[in-house]
Amino acid sequence: MSAPTLHRPSGLTWTVLRLHRAALYAWGAALLATAAVLTWMYVIGPDARAAIGPCGSPGTGLPDCEDLRAIGTDETYGIGIGLISTAVSYLMFPVAAWAGGALVGRELENGTAQLAWTQSVTPVRWLVAKLAVPAALLTAGTTLAVLLEVWARRDDNPTLVGHWYGSDAYISTGPVAVAYVLAGLTLGALAGLVLRKALPAAGAAFAVTLVLYNVLDRFRMSLWPASTVTGRAALHLPPDALALENGAVTRNGERLGNDLACVGLDGSSEISRCMQRTGLTDFWATYQPESHFWPLQLVESGLLLAVVGLATAAAFNLLRRRTP
């Protein structure tokens, strides 16, 4: 009796994974390292919060300040969370460069893609596999990294992990992180199809995603209407709010922008005397509260997914025009 035949995986999916196994191994190693670091951050989180809590001298009933400073867990925790946040936030750039250079550009430059097209693989099926396989892996892996970071942050104490509106914290704790990675993938693939050479495509993909990132970072807080408050409350915004603009109103009704007069005064009598002295009648401020985190995330994710759709459509259109 002959030994049973072992069937090896085949098909376009397996081909993509085999050709880019180095990138697959690197991605897997990065996810394992991320999971390990964030798990450690979750474990030491309570000690880090205790280290920045109230303290006093011996005999006051509070933890000794010198003992808390000697622990240093808060610094380790903040650095660990910060490193992972930065890595997730800037993941789109290496993804774009890899997609343009290795995933598409190199195969067109070396003729590997053209050889596959002469076999049973059509250009459209080839590009579908080139985009779908890494997109699935990147989506799953980035989602896992985001969920682990949210888990490790626990109560998101800004003293330890930064404010929610900081670029790294904002991107790495919401669905916009996945949208950025997919935008990098599709823009990189499009650059590879346009330039058909590995190094130029990698450079162009990196540059385009850099422009996209900076434009959205510049206008992010304009993607959702800001809240406006008037009166004394404008002088004391919530601690988790991002102040966009503040000012005062004069006796003749003129609205002054970014007027800091009387800001920082606590007592009502002090504020009243300051208003009389400076000729002000009211205060106003516009800000983004933490409750706007999800609306901002969804709008920015929608814009990025629109870029993904446009880049994907342009890539397939270009491929059809260049192939029989």
The reported pLDDT for the residue numbered 285 is: 85
> Residue range 183-211: average pLDDT?
95
> Residue range 37-57: average pLDDT?
78
The reported pLDDT for the residue numbered 279 is: 62
- Which amino acid, 261? A
**pLDDT over threshold 50, residue 3:** no
For every residue of 304-322, DSSP letters joined together read HHHHHHHHHHHHHHHHHHH
Name which of 219, 216, 187 is nearest 203 in CA terms: 187
Percent of residues, the chain, with pLDDT higher than 70:
81
Tens of pLDDT, residue by residue over 203-240, are 999 999 999 999 999 999 999 999 988 877 777 788 88
**pLDDT over threshold 80, residue 247:** no
How many Å apart are CA 70 and CA 65, to the nearest integer?
9
Higher pLDDT, 159 or 201: 201
**pLDDT over threshold 90, residue 267:** no
How many Å apart are CA 203 and CA 188, to the nearest integer?
9
pTM (two decimals)? 0.86
> Residue range 23-47: average pLDDT?
92
Tens of pLDDT, residue by residue over 55-109, are 545 555 555 555 555 455 778 888 899 999 999 999 999 999 999 999 998 988 8
How many Å apart are CA 188 and CA 23, to the nearest integer?
15
Highest mean pLDDT: which range of 12-16, 96-100, 273-277: 96-100
Beta-sheet strands, E only, within the chain: 227-230, 242-250, 255-257, 280-288
**pLDDT over threshold 90, residue 284:** no
What's the mean pLDDT when you consider all of the chain?
84
| 144 C-beta neighbours (distance < 10 Å), count | 14
Q: Name the residue with tokens 């774009």.
A: 96
The reported pLDDT for the residue numbered 5 is: 43
Tens of pLDDT, residue by residue over 133-172, are 999 999 999 999 999 999 999 877 787 888 999 999 999 9
The answer for residues whose C-beta is within 8 angstroms of residue 237's C-beta and 6 or more apart is 229, 243, 285, 287
Buried b or exposed e, range 33-54, using 16+ CB within 10 angstroms: ebeebbeebbebbeebbebbee
The reported pLDDT for the residue numbered 324 is: 67
Measuring CA to CA, how many Å separate 95 from each of 128, 140, 180? 17, 14, 10
Q: How many helices (H) and strands (E) does the chain have?
A: 14, 4
Structural domain spans, the chain? 17-222+292-322, 242-288
How many Å apart are CA 293 and CA 283, to the nearest integer?
25
Name which of 50, 86, 83, 46 is nearest 68 in CA terms: 50
